[in-house]
Amino acid sequence: MARLAAIGLTALDERTNLRFAAALGRLAYGWDRRHRQRTQQNLQQAFPDFTSPQIEALAQRSFEHLVQLAVEICQTPRLIHGDSWSYRVSFKNIDQTVELLNNGQPVILVTGHLGNWEATGFLMAVWGYRVSAVARPIDNPLINSWLLGIRERRGLQIITKWNATQAIVDVIGSNGMVGFIADQNAGHKGIFVPFFGRLASTYKSIGLLALKYNVPVVCGYARRLEPGFRYEVGTTDIIRPQDWIGQRDPLYYVTARYSRAIEHMIRQFPEQYLWMHRRWKSRPRHEQMGQPLPATLRRKLEDLPWIDQAAIDQLAQPAPA
């Protein structure tokens, strides 16, 4: 069934396929009330100054993007290869990233559910870099196997998210590159760092790996350029070992900084972000208990050089219901 759907979504030329996908996204937006409301609520949280019509339009475009992304994933192996990528890809702020990738040292790559995150790893493999990406397997084993084949067709290695620690350590130990999609809710065990003006539970694993093995963290993206199937690949931040030396809480610093980089990416093209994720689902203990911002957390926030007192005061406010 998934293969038939893929054939149907990619039967015409690429621009027509993307226009058809956008139309399907608009239908899904009207039909899926639960995810529509969640998307609108998250957008209102992230962009409190936006008007209701702006929120509505951005939410609908996010749905359109999701279906267009499905089309792109199906077509990626056919349309992006060694002879075509230079036509389909442009670059922004990647000089230092390329230098890091070419120096033979391990690198951690971080992105969010933004643009075409699948294309990021795929392109790296096409360019000849040895890249391993951490991914959660799809619940349906047949769909998971089909998607895995697409992802690995050009040499991208997929590390299953569950019990992935040793595989990741092996990649870093062999001076490889490992990629993470790092913008999902991490539950009650995560670190609560700022994300669009509200504390969000964020995974510790990326920061722990960076600190333990002195590995730089490159925060980047691949976004769709209209009218379609062309991308801009860019870097928003590079977190180097010397950046966290001297920090009172290096793990908090690294986690907050890559989360800030992802936020910066999203603000540039919010219509290509999956706003339906429950990013702020988990809440810190002090919020659950109705208590003020703990002094220890306040100090961690004050140590972040890009956070001012007004931002801290906002983060200290009780979360909206």
Residues 293, 274: Cα–Cα separation, whole Å: 29
The structural domains of the chain, with segments of one domain joined by +, span 2-315
- Report the alpha-carbon distance of residue 28 to residue 149 in Å, rounded: 27
pLDDT in tens, the chain (321 residues): 444 444 455 556 788 889 999 999 999 999 999 999 999 999 999 999 999 999 999 999 999 999 999 898 888 777 887 788 888 899 999 999 999 999 989 999 999 999 998 888 888 888 888 888 887 655 555 454 555 555 555 556 777 766 688 888 999 999 989 999 999 999 999 999 999 999 999 999 999 999 999 999 999 999 999 777 889 999 999 999 999 999 999 999 999 999 999 999 999 999 999 999 999 999 999 999 999 999 999 999 999 999 999 999 999 987 665
SS3 269: coil
**Strand-pair category, 230-239 with 217-225:** antiparallel
**For residues 96, 99, 105 and 106, what is the CA-based torsion angle, rounded to 10 degrees?**
50
Closest CA to 162 of 201, 141, 189, 134: 134
